[in-house]
Structure 1
Amino acid sequence: MTLLTGRHCYNALNPLHSMIYFAPEAEAEFHSLGLSRGSMSYFAGRSAAMGRVGAGTVAATFYNFSPALIARYLPRAWDLATPDAVLAARLRAVEAAQQRTLGAETMAGAEVREAAELALRAAEACTAAGRPLYAAHAELPVPTEPHLALWHAITLLREHRGDGHLAALLDAELDGLEALVTHTATGRGFLPAMARSTRGWSDEEWSAAEDRLRGRGLLDADGALTDAGRQVRQEIEDRTDRLAEAPYRHLGEAALARLGEIAARLSAVSAANGAFPEGVFAFSTTGARAAR
């Protein structure tokens, strides 16, 4: 198995998880608990597996969000809804969003069941040391319904990879905002305006990060990556792949190819049925690796 094969499978799987961050069903469920729509629902929904964590913990584990933005909503969200209630609401939202984007027949089909079994088998090889978001989600029970078990397994694989990605960013000496700026400069994932608004950074903060990166020779005068900047980003991706390879190697080549095949087909159906809004990603959501 090559690292590229593992990354291809991850890229096929990831949209089936990340659709929840754009699903109106999620905001409706969280709002019914008393959480405000938008950032509060996102921060609470994704961090609830860690318990009643504060803004500092979420800023550290989410990495590229403005700490000031997070502090507007956490820990206040936990006075409105308990983490357990948020986790239950999140699963209800996942099921409703899957109904809309995949359809009941697909959700109940043999391929979803097979993909869930394969993804859960892959997740058996994930390791928790140094991976706080993965570790928190790994302590949650596996849903009994195959379509929810698939989403849970993909969540484990996603957070496992994401935690390793942060280690690679730290090794490259990029802070959260610099990581976001250089990622958008690759032309992958979020468009710059969307990255700034959803991550809570001001134009001044963004410009200051660009200046720091220019000082290191990673950005040119127009904000594009230099050769050195492209090399740094490639090294980050390569290291992330190495740190994330264990679950995909655990599957073996045939099962890995099968999981990637099913996931790509399901992700394409989901995207075609409106899983992601227009004007968010720089290219196809089935290939996008949005910055954390």
Structure 2
Amino acid sequence: MAIHPARQIWTTLEPLHDVVYFGAGVKEAGVAIGLRGYWQTYFAFRAAPLGAVTPATVQAAFAGFHPEMVRKALPEAWSRATPEQCLDVRLDLSTALLRGLGAGEAECARAVSLLAPVQDYADPTGRPLFAANAALPLPADPVAALWQLTTSLREHRGDGHVAALVTHGLTGRQAMVMQAAAGKASESVLRGARGVSEREWADAFDELRARGLVVGEPVSPSLTGSGAELLGRVEASTDDAAWNGALAVLSADSITELTQSLAPLADRVHDAIVPAANPLAMGKR
């Protein structure tokens, strides 16, 4: 089966963005400006383009995180560091990490020339995280600019994915159970990364089982035929929204050039930084 071009682009760009989550020194960079620990850094860095937003806003936009997990980080983080500080630090850190893994200025500049028009073309309707990131100035440094563009476009895809979940009647928590049932990530990794208790996970599993979407046990769920079909529709909707809402401006030749030229860097980032067990539900390219 042919891979949707939007998914090809996502699997190439996502690891480049992910240095801000998994790279060495992320927690330390947050602590250096006053933030408290990794998770406060995560929420403040990712939410910073939106401004000093409330926990409820982040819970809605990020999807899947336990409300209490978000409330432990926000709004306290904004009393420790401003969104502007977070934006500066996350960009400097991510740029340094990509450079340390061999990101070259020429290859990054070429990728920026291909992706900047995509960001300009992309539809922000219903995509708050994309819109907030796309409104940030594009850095003159080509490595920094590439990281910022990958961030905007992965949030564009993420916003569209959340819309697809809602359209297909799935909550963020139920979606995690579906991903575990599909073998994309383990129950323990997903629960831990999103602050979900065993009881809450089991409740989401029971809700899906009642709909005929999963079978087995909460710690080791499996998709039914109906569950696999529904998850396939969610993923197809996500790809279509990313394509029609932004990436379709790229020609076939541009997609080939972009994915092939960035593939070595994406692979190095994935191998060096992205944990084998991670909550992104995405394996190596």
Q: What's the TM-score bracket when you normalise by the shorter of the two chains?
A: over 0.9
Q: Deviations over 1:228-259 (max 9, x none)?
A: 10011000011111111033220111111111
Moved more, 263-272 or 30-39: 263-272
How has the CA–CA distance of structure 1 residues 283 and 214 changed in structure 2, closer, same or farther, with 3 Å as cutoff?
Answer: closer
Alignment of 1:193-232 (within 5 A): 193-222=188-217, 223-232=221-230
How has the CA–CA distance of structure 1 residues 144 and 286 changed in structure 2, closer, same or farther, with 3 Å as cutoff?
Answer: farther
- Percent of residue pairs bearing the same amino acid type: 35
The secondary structure found in structure 1 opposite 2:215 is coil
Residue of structure 1 equivalent to 2:123: 127
Residue of structure 1 equivalent to 2:260: 261
Instruction: Give ranges in structure 1 of 5+ residues lacking alignment.
Output: 288-292
Asked whether 1:286 is paired with 2:284, we answer yes
What is the letter of the counterpart of residue 15 of structure 1? Answer: P
Q: Deviations over 1:148-175 (max 9, x none)?
A: 1111111111111111111100011111
TM-score, normalised via structure 2 length: 0.93
Asked whether 1:80 is paired with 2:75, we answer no
The secondary structure found in structure 2 opposite 1:58 is helix
Distance 2:182 2:19 in 1: 22
- From 107, 114, 119, the counterpart of 1:111: 107
What is the letter of the counterpart of residue 160 of structure 1? Answer: H
The secondary structure found in structure 1 opposite 2:212 is coil
Q: Deviations over 1:106-143 (max 9, x none)?
A: 433x2221112112122222111111111111111101
**Superposition deviation, residue 281 in structure 1:** 6.1
- Give the aligned length: 280
Residue of structure 1 equivalent to 2:270: 271
How has the CA–CA distance of structure 1 residues 284 and 161 changed in structure 2, closer, same or farther, with 3 Å as cutoff?
Answer: closer
What is the letter of the counterpart of residue 176 of structure 2? Answer: L
Contact 2:6 2:239 in 1 (8 A): yes
What is the letter of the counterpart of residue 236 of structure 2? Answer: D
Residue of structure 2 equivalent to 1:50: 50
The secondary structure found in structure 2 opposite 1:24 is coil
Distance 1:279 1:242 in 2: 27
Contact 1:3 1:242 in 2 (8 A): no
How has the CA–CA distance of structure 1 residues 31 and 278 changed in structure 2, closer, same or farther, with 3 Å as cutoff?
Answer: same
* Backbone CA RMSD of aligned residues: 1.7
TM-score, normalised via structure 1 length: 0.91
The secondary structure found in structure 2 opposite 1:221 is strand
Q: Deviations over 1:36-68 (max 9, x none)?
A: 122111001100000010110000000111111
Instruction: Give ranges in structure 2 of 5+ residues lacking alignment.
Output: none
Distance 2:170 2:115 in 1: 31
Residue of structure 2 equivalent to 1:290: none
Residue of structure 1 equivalent to 2:29: 29
Q: Deviations over 1:196-219 (max 9, x none)?
A: 111000011001110111001000
Asked whether 1:168 is paired with 2:156, we answer no
Moved more, 173-182 or 119-128: 119-128
Residue of structure 2 equivalent to 1:235: 233
Residue of structure 1 equivalent to 2:14: 14
How has the CA–CA distance of structure 1 residues 261 and 185 changed in structure 2, closer, same or farther, with 3 Å as cutoff?
Answer: same
